[in-house]
């Protein structure tokens, strides 16, 4: 608002053509940014709906001449590669993502309450630990994690690699530091007096938790859960390492890489599958976008 | 005063007010509570993510391969700093390290400059238009890394990729000829250019939106004052915007470095094999040693991982100092 107000005042000082050119320049730059951002996504969707003939033609056109669902049909109905069932992969991805969201939400809510409501000896150490863990790249420790899970598997007989157990545990752990920090703010924002008043009225800890804390923390829990969902849904390197050749347990990102590796040039189905992978993330993203920013740059804007 | 304190029932004062003698029945069960609450998170975090950091250092000093994972395997032999010596005397490693640093600096630099410019642009555009652009940017930001890599691989595909076809159609005096069958994915320079493009495309919206949020928090009077003093746009950015947003820029810089040093998925799709060592980056080298080499060399992979972690920790130490100073740990 303030920006527009100042541009309205300017004509008195500057010549109108300058102002017009300046505004046109700004708008043009805006359009350029918009095109740059949207174009690859557009190209993915456009290729997914384009006919096979057009994809294979050497003359790529900006807009598809005909629209077809054949690529989605081939991906979804498993006619792209023999014995490769898209629904199985979708189910795997959903199990891993929702499973790690549920575990993560529970664990991070408990930890957030501890950090926001109690002063205890290891509190600062715990928070510093969360920050350090966020910094260490998965790519660096993946060898150690792999060896651990392999040894655990051999020792206990529980299958950790080649099925969904291992990656579910890792995905739960990976999101925890950020979700704990996100929820901590929400828990801290609930006035302590509310809880104390309820306690004085004779409410038990469980009642205080479910009736007072939960409703107020719920928006934060939703945001944290969506963050954890997207993390698990998109994750690639851990799935690649742990699942290897166990095709039955593939998650969707791994499936995409598998399609690409196997078919190479089947861009129609690959883009159709990419589109299907991307849609849920886009939908969720629009919900939590603002919180993602504030969650990731915690406190830096405060100045 | 004294009367009210005496009148207050002992159970209501609680532990927080700092009363000298907190009533026992309320205090006792409270003590272990925070530890119980953080226990599940602490156990899974230390087991899955923290302990492996220690192990990584241990493995880097041992000869370790798949045969050590077999039942009744021999104990891995201690090798001291041998892996590090091999690495440091290997020109290929130095080239990969140099490539990683250069590619990372380019990614971070371009992302930050472009993101900041777009943030300022959004701040100047009318609301409806900046919202439209912001939603468009969300699409780039939200696209999963694997989808984004595949789209760019398709856009730059030799023979039929849109970029190749378009460059081929453009006049030769402008862009040169022979673009149609140009393979972007064989040599380091073209491959890394596409890689940087993918990363910047996905990363600049976050910077832009953060900078926009920061700009909104700066009082407009500061810019008015700068203008009265005769400052132009460039000058008022460096004299007002940058100093005001310094903590934000520091944080964005560090986050981008951390994220860009570890790039793996995009390179995995764009390079599409482990055959060409000249296009490796550090994270790619770690994975190759651990899971693609035959037999896998977990020790060497861990040594490279230690190098990468040290680089990130050097940057992080600064970040942690900022966070602790800002009271985030309190």
What residues in B contact A176, CB-CB < 8 Å?
41, 44-45
From A191-205, A233-247, A286-300, the region with the lowest mean pLDDT: A286-300
Lowest average pLDDT, out of A29-33, A278-282, B190-194, goes to A278-282
B154 and A47: CB-CB below 8 Å? yes
Question: Is the confidence at residue B109, as pLDDT, over 60?
Answer: yes
Mean pLDDT, range A135-164, rounded to an integer = 90
Closest CB to B33 among A55, A118, A260: A118
The Cα angle at residue A254 between residues B259 and A91, in degrees rounded to 5: 115
Structural class in CATH, domain B87-325: mainly alpha
A-chain residues near B150 (CB < 8 A): 44, 256, 260, 270-271, 274
Report yes or no: A286 at the B interface, CB cutoff 8 Å: yes
- Confidence category of residue B13, pLDDT binned at 50, 70, 90: very low
Tokens of B327: 């009271």
Distance of alpha carbon B136 from alpha carbon A34, whole angstroms: 6
The confidence band for B11, taking pLDDT boundaries of 50, 70 and 90, is: very low
B328 or B117: which carries more pLDDT confidence?
Answer: B117
Mean pLDDT of B49-73: 89
Does CATH number 1.10.3720.10 belong to domain A86-296?
Answer: yes
- Tokens describing residue B64: 């370790």
How many Å lie between the alpha carbon of A154 and the closest alpha carbon of chain B? 8
User: What are the pLDDT digits (tens) for B72-101?
Assistant: 778 888 888 999 999 999 999 999 999 999
Chain B residues whose beta carbon lies within 8 Å of the beta carbon of residue A266: none
**Range 213-232 of A in CB contact (< 8 A) with B:** none
**Is residue B32 scored above 60 in pLDDT?**
yes
Sorted by where each begins, the domain ranges of chain B are 87-325
Q: Which of A76-90, B112-126, B159-173, B265-279 has the lowest mean pLDDT?
A: A76-90
Q: Report how far residue B259's alpha carbon sits from residue A140's, in angstroms, rounded to the nearest whole number.
A: 13
Using the beta-carbon criterion (under 8 Å), do A135 and B316 form an inter-chain contact? Answer: yes
Query: Given this model, what pLDDT does residue A302 score?
Result: 35
The mean per-residue pLDDT over the stretch B106-129 comes to 94
CATH 1.10.3720.10, chain A: domain bounds: 86-296
Q: Rounded to 5 degrees, what angle do the CA atoms B310, B313, B317 make?
A: 145
pLDDT attached to residue A160: 86
pLDDT band at B112 (very low <50, low <70, confident <90, very high): very high
Closest CA to B162 of A270, A269, A42: A42
Which value does ipTM take for this structure? 0.86
Which has the higher per-residue pLDDT, A35 or A302? A35
**Whether residue B324 has pLDDT greater than 60:** yes
* CA nearest neighbour of A123 among A132, A134, A112: A112
Residues from chain B that touch A130, judged by Cβ atoms under 8 A, are 45
Residue A224 pLDDT > 70, yes or no? yes
Model confidence over A250-302: pLDDT tens digits?
A: 999 999 998 898 887 789 999 999 999 999 998 888 777 666 555 555 444 33
Pick from A146, A294, A303: which is nearest to B244 by CB?
A: A303
3-state SS, one letter per residue, for B203-262: HHHHHHHHHHHHHHCCCHHHHHHHHHCCCCHHHHHHHHHHHHCHHHHHHHHHHHHHHHHC
Nearest-angstrom CA–CA distance, A3 and A181: 34
Residue B118 is predicted with a pLDDT of 96
| Pairing outcome for strands B62-63 and B77-78 | antiparallel
What's the pLDDT score for residue B25? Answer: 47
* Nearest CA-CA distance, residue B201 and chain A, Å: 7
Contacts of A293 in chain B (CB under 8 A): 206, 209-210, 213
């Amino acid at each position: 608002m303030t920006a527009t107000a100042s541009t309205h005042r300017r004509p008195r000082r500057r010549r109108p053509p300058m102002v017009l050119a300046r505004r046109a320049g700004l708008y043009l730059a805006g359009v350029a940014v918009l095109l740059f951002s949207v174009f690859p996504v557009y190209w993915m969707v456009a290729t997914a709906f384009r006919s096979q003939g057009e994809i294979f033609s050497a003359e790529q056109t900006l807009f598809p001449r005909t629209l077809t669902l054949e690529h989605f049909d081939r991906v979804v109905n498993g006619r792209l590669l023999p014995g490769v069932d898209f629904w199985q992969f979708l189910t795997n991805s959903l199990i891993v993502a929702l499973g790690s969201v549920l575990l993560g939400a529970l664990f991070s809510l408990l930890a957030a309450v501890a950090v926001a409501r109690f002063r205890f000896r290891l509190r600062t150490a715990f928070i510093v630990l969360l920050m350090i863990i966020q910094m260490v790249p998965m790519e660096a420790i993946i060898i150690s994690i792999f060896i651990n899970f392999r040894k655990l598997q051999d020792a206990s007989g529980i299958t950790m690699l080649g099925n969904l157990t291992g990656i579910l545990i890792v995905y739960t752990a990976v999101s925890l530091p950020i979700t704990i920090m996100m929820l901590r703010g929400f828990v801290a924002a609930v006035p302590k007096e509310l809880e104390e008043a309820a306690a004085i009225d004779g409410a038990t800890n469980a009642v205080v938790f479910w009736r007072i804390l939960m409703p107020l923390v719920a928006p934060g829990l939703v945001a944290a859960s969506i963050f954890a969902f997207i993390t698990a849904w998109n994750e690639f390197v851990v799935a690649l390492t742990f699942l290897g050749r166990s095709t039955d347990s593939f998650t969707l990102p791994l499936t995409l890489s598998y399609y690409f590796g196997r078919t190479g040039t089947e861009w129609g189905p690959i883009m159709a599958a990419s589109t299907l992978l991307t849609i849920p993330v886009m939908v969720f993203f629009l919900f939590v976008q603002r919180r993602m920013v504030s969650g990731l740059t915690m406190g830096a804007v405060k100045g | 005063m004294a009367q009210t304190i005496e009148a207050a029932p002992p159970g209501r004062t609680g532990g927080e007010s700092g009363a000298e003698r907190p009533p026992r029945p309320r205090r006792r069960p409270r003590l272990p509570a925070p530890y119980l609450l953080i226990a599940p998170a602490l156990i899974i975090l230390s087991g899955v993510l923290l302990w492996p950091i220690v192990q990584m250092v241990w493995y880097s000093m041992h000869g370790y391969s798949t045969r050590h994972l077999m039942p009744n395997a021999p104990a891995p032999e201690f090798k001291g700093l041998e892996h590090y010596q091999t690495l440091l005397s290997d020109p290929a490693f130095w080239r990969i390290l140099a490539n990683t640093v250069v590619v990372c600096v380019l990614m971070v630099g371009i992302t930050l400059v472009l993101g900041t410019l777009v943030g300022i642009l959004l701040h100047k555009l009318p609301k409806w238009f900046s919202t439209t652009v912001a939603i468009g940017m969300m699409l780039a930001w939200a696209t999963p890394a694997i989808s984004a890599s595949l789209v760019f691989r398709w856009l730059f595909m030799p023979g039929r990729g849109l970029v190749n076809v378009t460059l081929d159609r453009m006049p030769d005096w402008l862009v040169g000829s022979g673009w149609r069958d140009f393979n972007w994915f064989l040599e380091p320079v073209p491959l890394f250019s596409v890689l940087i493009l993918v990363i910047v495309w996905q990363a600049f919206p976050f910077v832009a939106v953060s900078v926009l949020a920061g700009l909104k928090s700066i009082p407009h009077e500061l810019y008015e004052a700068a203008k009265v003093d005769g400052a132009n746009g460039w000058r008022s950015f460096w004299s007002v915007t940058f100093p005001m947003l310094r903590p934000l820029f520091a944080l964005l810089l560090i986050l981008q470095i951390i994220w860009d040093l570890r790039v793996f998925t995009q390179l995995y799709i764009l390079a599409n094999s482990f055959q060409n060592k000249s296009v490796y980056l550090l994270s790619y080298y770690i994975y190759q040693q651990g899971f693609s080499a035959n037999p896998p060399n977990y020790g060497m992979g861990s040594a490279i991982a230690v190098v990468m972690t040290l680089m990130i920790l050097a940057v992080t130490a600064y970040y942690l100092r900022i966070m602790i100073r800002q009271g985030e740990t309190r």
